[in-house]
């Protein structure tokens, strides 16, 4: 079994759509970034890639490449999933924490889990999504951005060895 950790943060900006876990959420501001800036999915991708010993999302999806401009992070997650499958990894479970003063994400958690479950072919009960605030402290606490932290567990599919030590 392999464990990966992912973190992402984006500032909020007027005129952008807010997308978290592939779900559009009504909010006066959205996350600023090259793609849809979905911090939840970006942190998830980094956790999965890290668990597999692969490069981070900036390597696979550079913000200098126009083809990723405003792209849905669900499409990027699908690519990451295919990379894991090529390396004969399966995903065991993921645990996600979103840090934001607002909006409240609880009403959207089931839809987020559904989106992630479909892309990763992972049962919803193996996906944890929680919300927290920064207690009105700092950049996040003043409502200037949203962050996400993810821990992901993967393992080799039965009968496969990926390390070079054997």
* Structural domain contains residue 163: no
Residues 42, 31 contacting (CB under 8 angstroms): no
Which residue range is the domain that position 53 belongs to? 2-156
Residue 140 is predicted with a pLDDT of 86
Whether 161 has a pLDDT exceeding 60, the answer reads no
pTM (2 d.p.):
0.92
Q: Other C-beta atoms within 10 Å of 14: how many?
A: 8
Domain-embedded: residue 111: yes
Number of domains present in the structure of the chain: 1
Average pLDDT over residues 44-72: 94
Model confidence pLDDT, tens digit, residues 147-157: 999 999 999 98
Position 161 in a domain: no
pLDDT above 90 coverage of the chain, percent: 84
Determine, yes or no, domain membership for 164. no
Residue 159 confidence (pLDDT): 60
Task: Assess if residue 68 is contained within a domain.
Answer: yes
Residue 31 in domain: yes
> What is the mean pLDDT of the segment spanning 39-66?
95
Query: For position 87, which CATH number holds?
Result: 3.30.1330.50
Residue 141 maps to a domain: yes
DSSP H helical ranges for 13-60: 39-51, 57-60
Q: How sure is the predictor about 136, in pLDDT bands with cuts at 50, 70 and 90?
A: confident
List pLDDT tens digits, range 73-123: 999 999 999 999 999 999 999 999 999 999 999 999 999 999 999 999 999
- H helices of the chain, where? 39-51, 57-60, 73-86, 109-120, 138-141
């Amino acid at each position: 079994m392999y464990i990966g950790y992912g973190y992402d943060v984006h500032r909020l900006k007027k005129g952008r759509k807010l997308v978290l876990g592939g779900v559009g959420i009504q909010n006066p501001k959205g996350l600023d970034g090259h793609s849809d800036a979905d911090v939840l999915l970006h942190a998830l991708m980094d956790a999965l890639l890290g668990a597999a010993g692969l490069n981070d999302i900036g390597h696979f999806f550079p913000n200098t490449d126009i083809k990723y401009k405003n792209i849905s992070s669900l499409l990027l997650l699908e690519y990451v999933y295919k990379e894991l499958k090529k390396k004969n990894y399966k995903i065991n479970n993921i645990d996600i924490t979103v840090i934001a003063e607002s909006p409240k994400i609880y009403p959207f958690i089931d839809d987020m889990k559904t989106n992630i479950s479909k892309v990763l072919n992972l049962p919803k009960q193996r996906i944890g999504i929680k919300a927290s605030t920064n207690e009105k402290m700092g950049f996040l606490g003043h409502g200037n951005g949203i962050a996400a932290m993810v821990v992901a567990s993967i393992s080799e599919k039965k009968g496969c060895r990926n390390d070079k030590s054997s």
